[in-house]
Amino acid sequence: MLRPFRLLEPTTAMEASAELRRLGDQARVYAGGAELVLLMRHGILQTDYLVNVKGIPSLHGVTWDGTVARIGAATTHSQVERDPIVRQRLPTLAQSAGTIGNIRVRNQGTIGGNLCFADPHSDPEAPLLVHDAQVVLSCTAGERRLPVDDFLVGTFETAIQPDEILTGVEAEPLPTGFGQAFLRIERYHRPTVNVASGVRAAEGRIAEARLAVGCVGARTIRLRDLETRVTGLGVDEATRVGREYGPILTELLEPVDDLLGSAEYKIHVACVLLGRAIGEAAHTNEAAES
């Protein structure tokens, strides 16, 4: 059962950062608790203080400045899923948010919390990587931006500094001509494998591709090598290359057997989904063009 802890409720990111600086290891950031509280209940994680950032007004909501969509870190998955800006500009992110856990988790958990927890079985990470999204990190010393690809380090590990608060996520829509897809397989409450793609196809060939795969390795990754390999290929050929990418994917991700399945199974399914995600993105793009 939960151990007693103190709940701190700062109203600005600066205050929150100051609390983190003051309390050091004794404090954890609470941004919805979908995963954190589970660990606390099981006694895996014990903390004296929780710094609730969900009450910070500036961490909420989605804005669009004409180029970049900014999603406040404390925006819940349900809000991301339903937000008109996200749905229009970052549709696979909206889609991925709608698949997380269950309705209770989506109403409680936040995009910032999800990213900071860095569970390799995250849903929003793959679309964010495809969008070349970046996170905004704030502390009393100032603010910095970091690509999501640099922010994610490993399993439960990010580049956030102990006194930093993730305040938002910024992403641009995919450039004109891109189609996109988000595909996932799940058995438990977390995805077994997920894949996001952004593909620009022209005259039946892949002109540009962005591909990301989650859950199989220590963190969600962009597959830049595969992106290069498929560029210039016909769509069917690119799909086949995706499907047959297993040996390299195994080396890249070093998957392990676990409850969700064997490493062999996860790699196989990831490649099936990659092939499909390339094809679907290419076709949505062509459908949009025609």
Partner 1 sequence: MVQAERTQEAPRIDSWGKVSGSATFVEDMPELTGSLYAAPVKSPYAHARVGAIDVSRALALEGVSSVLYRDNLHEFGLQLDALAPLDPALIVGDKALYQGDLVAVVVASDLRTARRAAELVDVDYEILDPVFSAEAALQAGAPILHDHRGTNSIFDDSLMWGDIEDGFRQAVTIVERNLVSPTVFHHPMEPVGTGMVRFAGDIAEIWAPTNTPMRDASDIAHVLGVPADHVHLRVPYVGGGFGAKKTTREMAAALALSRKLRRPIRVVATGEESFHVAVRHAMEYRARVGVDAEGRLVALDVDLAVDCGAYFTGGKVATHNACTSAWGPYRVPHFRVRAKTAFTNKTPATPHRGTGKTQTTFAIECLMDEVARTISTDPVEFRERNVLLPGERVPERFTVEGSRIAGDSAPMTIDFPSLMREGMDALGPEQPPLSPSLVRGRGVSVSLRNWAKGSEESQASATLNPDGTVTVAHTASDLGQGIYNMISVVAAKTLGLDQAQIHVENPDTSTMLRFPGATAQRTTIELGNAVYAASTNLKRQIIDLAVESRGGTPDAWIIQGGSLWLGDVRYSLSDLAKEAPGVVLSAVGSDTEVYPTDDAFGETEFWTPGVAAAEVDVDRDTGEISVLRYAILAEAGKILHYNSARGQLEGGAVMGFGLALFEELRYEDGQVQNADAFQYRLPLMRDVPPSFQVLITENGDGPGPFGAKGIAQTSIPCVAPAVANAIFDAVGVPVSSTPITPEKVLRALGTLTDRP
Contact set with partner 1 (CB under 8 A): 1, 4, 38, 42, 185, 187-189, 259, 261-262, 264-265, 268-269, 272-273
Q: How far is the CB of 9 from partner 1 (least distance, A)?
A: 23
Token couple for 148:
């999501």
Q: In the complex with partner 1, which residue's Cβ is closer, 22 or 42?
A: 42
Q: How far is the CB of 39 from partner 1 (least distance, A)?
A: 11
**How many Å apart are CA 151 and CA 136, to the nearest integer?**
10
Q: In the complex with partner 1, which residue's Cβ is closer, 138 or 194?
A: 194
Q: In the complex with partner 1, which residue's Cβ is closer, 102 or 290?
A: 102
Q: How far is the CB of 212 from partner 1 (least distance, A)?
A: 18
**How many Å apart are CA 277 and CA 174, to the nearest integer?**
15
Burial of 68 (0-12, 13-18, 19+ CB in 10 A): middle
Residues 102, 77, 265, 180, Cα dihedral to 10°: 130
Q: How far is the CB of 261 from partner 1 (least distance, A)?
A: 5
To the nearest 10 degrees (0 to 180), the angle between helices 263-289 and 235-243 is 160
Q: In the complex with partner 1, which residue's Cβ is closer, 23 or 238?
A: 238
Q: How far is the CB of 237 from partner 1 (least distance, A)?
A: 18
**How many Å apart are CA 103 and CA 95, to the nearest integer?**
14
* HSE-up of residue 140 (Cα within 13 Å, Cβ side): 10
Q: In the complex with partner 1, which residue's Cβ is closer, 131 or 184?
A: 184
